[in-house]
Structure 1
């Protein structure tokens, strides 16, 4: 346990001093802000529409900006934008260790490979939690200011609803982070793993779901994909918000419990697969 905690502290130090990590965090907060509040607020004030609210009236657009809708807005961008960025983070965290020879040095001179990997994953999990907390605080500020500016009574959602949304967001981002870490371990480098991850999350799954409408076996296969599980889990949280359901990546293919179990299975499989690969493969 001491070896795991020491490895986690070392990984946290690396993450804090790594510009790429801060760029990833800022990129997510910027994208989440734009698609969660900024575009909809501009559409509401100008009487126009954006790509996610073309079929919504002004009253519906404004309702999505109010505090009681915070749980849905918190997670709506995570299946696609947030997931892609967390996958990039996991891929570069694992892949750069091979590119610069860091893992080879640690595995041969430091604690066991299992302890090093567990510590690295623990540090990245803490980072995912930090990203979620920062997003929640930022969104709560946005929606509170909008409600106060528009002279509306501020009615915050129930704590249980926020906790449910936070938990779903954590599962989604953690799954994609582990997927990126697994790809970085398989490819032993950041470039290929990042490229494969982005093609999968942003292109391939969407194409398969499009083809699935024409071919039954393909449609059945898409129901077990990680993007389908993540999108359906978020869809279950955001089902009452029309603007959130129109966000790319948000789906209603699986029920909420089924999607949560599917994401949980991916978490276990990806973590165990990474540990097994690192333990049994030559470090050279």
Structure 2
């Protein structure tokens, strides 16, 4: 049985797929695990609320997360899954108010809906790409199917084979990439490439296939990434100073938040300039 509210029936746009922490019960701060590292100051088990999470579901150190060693929190985004699970799937009842089993169900469902919302992001973006028009009908069907899945009950979502659904959608997104990158040439295929720490200052990466590429700490200062496919690329600590990413697609806010850039970095309209970037 699916949720049937008017908000749930309305097809999403990218504005629906951004986190609204004021409408969530701090699910990412409670449901997800993290390990003490450069990204997190302490260990935390899945299903255990972060020690910085207040009774009002607000972060007690939100304005100084980076200084306190919680950089990982500043780059995370749920694509709007937090408010969807909190307000729609569980009808506005928090995990604290519903008891232990209720909390467990919320924590199990949240990562599933987060994956579905990430797919909604890619599908919604694809429908706005004129070059992808030959597959717009297929994209619309996939988007509608994915949206229907997000409206399933908690029990149905917990049993959903989300990996199989991702695989089906990914096949369609690959077709979008081919259409967007037509004429790019073999030299621009760097799918899954190990480019950790690579010196790519000023590199011509127009229409490059960078799907799943490891660009951790790579120097892309002044690089031309116009029209590049960046789905799943690891941009942690990547230097995007003065790089041109206009027209790049399948770039998400969490990827960008993990990178470094400046006011001179040119971005596609689908993302916003991170507040911690230098001016």
TM-score by length of 1: 0.30
- By percentage of residues, which structure has more helix? 1
Q: Which has the higher contact order (CA 8 A, sep 6+)?
A: 1
TM-score by length of 2: 0.30
